Structure 1
């Protein structure tokens, strides 16, 4: 019997679980999260392009993402702690409202001819803060309105949201910016407004569980909880390793495409292979979880990256690199859903916000570190050499992780 089924006495049949497609609370919250994610992906492209047009400085254009990411990373653990201490629904509503106001300030300043670089960077900081506080809550909210028996299906649908936004966001930002400087920011504000509306209209249990003593715990309790759970710690380590390796290979792939005379538009289309692979990989979540235990699945998906990273030694054509990125991302949705399931299966509700925030922080750290490492390596080695080196290091690291029997024999 699931948590949402109700017993009405001996001999009475439990109420049937509503199919996920007819669960309007989940679908509404999911659509709000999808709108928010799409707006984020549009903004991540549109703001740097706006700064580049305003100043002509690539450094200032890159500063938007740097500020947003840094603030989100610094406040991430506190956001998780707040989600375990305060009403989660209130946190979500306030965060979305602040996001709408901050985003609307940009087109308003453009129309008044008063937009400045400090203004845009301040908006970047505010948006980073809203991600830190709304991120864990939105994940908990979407998952709180489905019964445990449908959690894997709900998480799989959530993977479509993430990868679909990654695929549509950048080209949509360019299209909207071509219609006018203010247009992408108005569109982003509207998407945030829709997310705010769903948070206001859909009621979910926003009260953290557990006793008051837990609510006064440290914001580092999420990291401690992960450290105590060896399976979750190992799975998170594998996914973090994939993030680090994937980020390190991004610049070498771009260099290979440039050396082959591929245009910037063509490069963007090739890099979209990762999002396409994620969308296709959402279809593989259920069979992969059925065929493999969590530890074996983590090792197989990460191990499959090693030969894929060596593909450029055979061919570096745009079509081949696109296919390689698709293959690289196919198993990632199954890993993300697996980590999410483990959090909800093995972590008490009163510390889930902190565990989710800790997981997000660990995974996010690999992105800038990998980008920096890729740039440093390219200063000394050819792009193919960098990819081969990453593949070799990844293989050695995975062999070390696979050596303990604990991960290989772990079950659901």
Structure 2
């Protein structure tokens, strides 16, 4: 009888194992060092994010001013994508990552000094926020370009899923802890912890070996099958790389995208989701005027999105079996929009609001895994920095534009109208993209 029971449970256990996240990349020393260092430092950074939004709302009492954080952060993100990302393709990526982390730590110190002086001017807070965004964008470009070289090719989707799990763990713990600490001890403790946690990232990156870019001419470029079926052959990528100087090197990533509509669509679909469907700039406003709460709830609203994303990442063992990855991205982004609409219509129910944000976050992480897989598998190594720079411009710049859009619509109409209309536009725009770019809808992962 016992043997029969054991035998009957084996298929279920096997199915569960296939569903759970693949942890093989953590056996690789370089990936493990990078992953663990970011786990600590990103937690501190997300504590500081809540403090930044709460501080600006306290200074101004304006949703538009909170949305202005996105505007001041978008400019350095754009500059980083244009001028910082090309450096990632020419110099040791570990060294660039160390420089970026030191700059991030300097920004955290500036915010902490602003709290110490008592009543910091809004311009000082905006300046520090801009430095955080620019240096963080450069760090993310370096990490993204390094990652495909830290693990075997077949473990790349698992490595990207682990990164999503790590980031979303930080997005849960950081904001939730930040909200509690701010409510109890004030803004200074949040910025102080952010500064201290950068030590983990600096130490872990220092322990890694150098990671210079790998020349396409001396490595195996992605096959034509992995070139997303459009645009020039991958072997033509050398024309973007050899003998490039000045502006040509800066714009090489954008020129590489020309004619590659599937790759373009991965960026467009994320811009749709983040510009119209990301209501985080309204969290301090909604916590006060809709839910009659304080910083604790602001932190929970930030964390709720990440809770769903973490669950999605931890149960992402099935993603490598999906061949129609373009369609999967479209479905996931539409579900994100639906979750945001439901959040906007949740009324004063905190539990329902948090649940809707979690559903949206789960859909978003699945979209991110597929989009990153499509991008990283199709780009030569010595263009990865520039393509990662464009990707980061979209991933990090999109929410900043979304902050401004959300704050503006909330000022002109109401916070609820801003949230709901953004989610609806997101769903409609995804449907339009599916029709206008059938190559993306029908895209299948190469064998």
**TM-score, length-normalised on structure 1?**
0.80
What pairs up with 1:340-379 in 2 under 5 angstroms? Answer: 340-379=372-411
| Residue 438 (structure 2) aligns with | 405
Does the residue aligned with 2:91 lie in a helix, a strand or coil? coil
| Residue 94 (structure 2) aligns with | 89
Which residue, out of 240, 258, 267, partners 1:227? Answer: 258
- Contact 2:277–2:419 (CA<8 Å) still a contact in 1? no
| Residue 276 (structure 2) aligns with | 245
Moved more, 25-34 or 114-123: 114-123
Moved more, 122-131 or 238-247: 122-131
- Contact 1:37–1:162 (CA<8 Å) still a contact in 2? yes
Q: Distance in 2 between matches of 1:315 and 1:121?
A: 32
Does the residue aligned with 1:285 lie in a helix, a strand or coil? coil
| Residue 39 (structure 1) aligns with | 44
Structure 1 residues 374, 149: CA separation in 2 closer, same or farther (over 3 Å shift)? same
| Residue 213 (structure 1) aligns with | 242
Deviation at 1:106, TM superposition (A): 6.1
- Contact 1:21–1:27 (CA<8 Å) still a contact in 2? yes
Q: Distance in 1 between matches of 2:65 and 2:343?
A: 30
| Residue 426 (structure 2) aligns with | 394
- Contact 1:20–1:26 (CA<8 Å) still a contact in 2? yes
What pairs up with 1:9-408 in 2 under 5 angstroms? Answer: 19-47=24-52, 56-57=59-60, 62=66, 67-101=72-106, 103-104=108-109, 117=121, 122-177=127-182, 178-179=184-185, 182-210=188-216, 213=242, 216=245, 217-247=248-278, 249-250=279-280, 260-264=290-294, 265-266=296-297, 268-311=299-342, 315-316=346-347, 317-379=349-411, 381=413, 386-387=418-419, 389-403=421-435, 404-408=437-441
Per-residue CA deviations over 1:321-370 (Å, capped at 9, x if unaligned) read 22211111212112212222222211111111000111111333432333
| Residue 229 (structure 2) aligns with | none
Q: Distance in 2 between matches of 1:126 and 1:310?
A: 32
Q: Which has the higher contact order (CA 8 A, sep 6+)?
A: 2
Q: Distance in 2 between matches of 1:283 and 1:341?
A: 17
| Residue 13 (structure 2) aligns with | none
Q: Distance in 1 between matches of 2:324 and 2:94?
A: 34
Q: Report how many residues are paired.
A: 391
RMSD: 3.5
Q: Distance in 2 between matches of 1:354 and 1:68?
A: 19
Structure 1 residues 324, 214: CA separation in 2 closer, same or farther (over 3 Å shift)? farther
Q: Distance in 2 between matches of 1:386 and 1:52?
A: 17
Does the residue aligned with 1:330 lie in a helix, a strand or coil? helix
Per-residue CA deviations over 1:43-92 (Å, capped at 9, x if unaligned) read 22335656788xx4457985766544432333222111110122212211
**TM-score, length-normalised on structure 2?**
0.75
